[in-house]
Amino acid sequence: MKRTVFYIILIATLFACRHEKEVDYPVLSVDITRLNTPSVFDIFEKVEIIPLETTDNSLLGNIFGIAFYNNHYYITDLKGESLFCFDEHGKFVRKIGMTNS
């Protein structure tokens, strides 16, 4: 009986192991030494330069961040002591924050 069960398991194992067809997939080569730098126009639809008005009150040092909200540009300096507000055309509106450095 043990021999019959062994042969049944052996035959079932042999039939279960079938040879799959080998599929020839295309090989893609990538040159990692060549850098592909995207253009600014690949990322943005439009690039616009708006010169900011320069006054004694609106002189900027090192810019930390810029945000556009309600048709105004808000610019913070690196020290985070002041927030400069300009309208959508670059005209200085006001300075928010400390006045002394």
In the predicted structure, residue 2 carries a pLDDT above the cut 90: no
What backbone torsions phi and psi does residue 64 show, to the nearest 5 degrees?
-100, -40
Residue 67 lies in a domain: yes
Residue 7 lies in a domain: no
Domain that holds residue 91: 22-97
Residue 10 lies in a domain: no
In the predicted structure, residue 99 carries a pLDDT above the cut 60: no
CA distance 86 to 94: 7
Quickly list DSSP for 2-63: HHHHHHHHHHHHHHH--PPPP--PPPP---TTS--PPPHHHH-S-----PPP--SSS---SE
Residue 3 lies in a domain: no
Residue 13 lies in a domain: no
In the predicted structure, residue 63 carries a pLDDT above the cut 70: yes
Q: pLDDT of 8-43, one tens digit each? A: 777 777 666 666 677 778 888 877 787 777 788 888
**Per-residue model confidence (pLDDT) at position 46:** 85
Residue 40 lies in a domain: yes
**Per-residue model confidence (pLDDT) at position 74:** 93
Residue 77 lies in a domain: yes
Residue 4 lies in a domain: no
CATH number, residue 85? 2.40.10
Give me the number of domains the chain comprises: 1
In angstroms, what CA-CA distances link 99 with 22, 73, 81, 95?
75, 19, 8, 8
In the predicted structure, residue 101 carries a pLDDT above the cut 50: no
